[in-house]
Structure 1
Amino acid sequence: MPLRSIRLAGCACALLILAGCGGAVRVEPPVPEGPAAAACQALAERLPRRLDGADRVESTPASPYVAVWGQGRIALRCGVPRPVTMSPTDQVPEINEVAWYADPARPTLFTSVGRAAYVEVTVAREHTPQNVLVDLAAPIKAALPQTG
């Protein structure tokens, strides 16, 4: 398994471990560059305060590329790399005009694709992924232009 995949898997596990803890939730921020960074900053300004019944909470380290709701039960990272497991022939369903790649090996991880930046969303099992992805569609469409 490539080091980047191991880090991403470790990050998702850390989210689940920290979910029951008080205070800021530790989430490793991505490091987007250029147009992706600008698009992610625009997305940060549009994200909801509440998502699928969970309030937004602080993350550490603070980053405009990370948003967390419900003590880490829902986490968003904008500007992540393209999913390594996604192939050009994969069927990618759309929810409210945003395409979401669902990693078959990680059923709680969804990545929006086909836009100025990849947006990774981890949704704990007690939340309904469809509700979360529907609520994130409008801010993603507004902030992240589609790519060819």
Structure 2
Amino acid sequence: MSRIPPVSAARLKSLPAPVRWAAPPVALLGGVALLLGGWGEPEEPVTPPTPKPAVARLCAALDKALPDTVLGHRRQDPSPASPYTAAWGSSPRTVLKCGIDRPDYLDDDPLASAPEVNDVQFGMGPDGHGGYRFVTTLRKAYVEITVPEGAYPNYIDPLSSLTDAIKSTVPDGL
């Protein structure tokens, strides 16, 4: 086992003064950065839906049509990789699921405060963490988009980036 020899005081004094003065704060800041980098909130796991074959085909087409970025947030799909899930950004991230079962929150008068964005109607409900879940209505597949609290200035903003892909791949109808 090799041993690192101790640094002598004479050797430290031979370094230029700015280097000697800057070394401790730089080392301290590096340690703090490493600690803080590992303390981000862990992302909730995303379980891919298991749609029926006809809906699965629509969802696979939607997955290919989805944008690489949503309002400056890069697409970073959750693990395990699935054509039924997509995500943008990190901590917090916007998550899309295609082929979900009809959510219960659509039973609570879904069109009372539901937004229509670029000719795509959405039902909405809270996500339980301060954000919202939006789900397409009157389409051949249910597409749910979860927008976490604080991810965007307006919680509905990312929907406009996704509606063109939804309209072109998931037809109207039930």
TM range (shorter): 0.7 to 0.9
Q: Please give the alpha-carbon distance, in whole angstroms, between the structure 1 residues aligned to 2:146 and 2:110.
A: 20
Taking the TM superposition and a 5 Å limit, the aligned residue runs for 1:55-134 are 55-71=74-90, 73-87=93-107, 89-91=109-111, 92-104=114-126, 106=128, 107-126=131-150, 127=152, 128-134=154-160
Instruction: Quote how far apart the aligned CAs of 1:53 are.
Output: 1.6
In the superposition, the TM-score normalised over structure 2's length comes to: 0.66
Q: Please give the alpha-carbon distance, in whole angstroms, between the structure 2 residues aligned to 1:27 and 1:95.
A: 25
Task: State the match for 1:10 in structure 2.
Answer: none
Larger-Rg structure: 2
Q: Please give the alpha-carbon distance, in whole angstroms, between the structure 2 residues aligned to 1:105 and 1:137.
A: 20
Instruction: Quote how far apart the aligned CAs of 1:68 are.
Output: 0.8
Taking the TM superposition and a 5 Å limit, the aligned residue runs for 1:4-23 are 17-19=41-43
Instruction: Quote how far apart the aligned CAs of 1:88 are.
Output: 7.8
The one-character-per-residue Cα deviations of 1:21-59 (angstroms, maximum 9, x if unpaired) are: xxxx74110011122111100100000110022101131
After superposition, the CA RMSD in angstroms is: 2.1
Q: Please, which runs of 5 or more residues in structure 2 have no aligned partner?
A: 1-39
Larger RCO, structures 1/2 (Cα 8 Å, 6+ apart): 1
Q: Please give the alpha-carbon distance, in whole angstroms, between the structure 2 residues aligned to 1:26 and 1:104.
A: 18
Which residue, out of 27, 30, 33, partners 2:49?
30
In the superposition, the TM-score normalised over structure 1's length comes to: 0.77
| Residues 142 and 108 of structure 1, relative CA distance in 2, 3 Å threshold | same
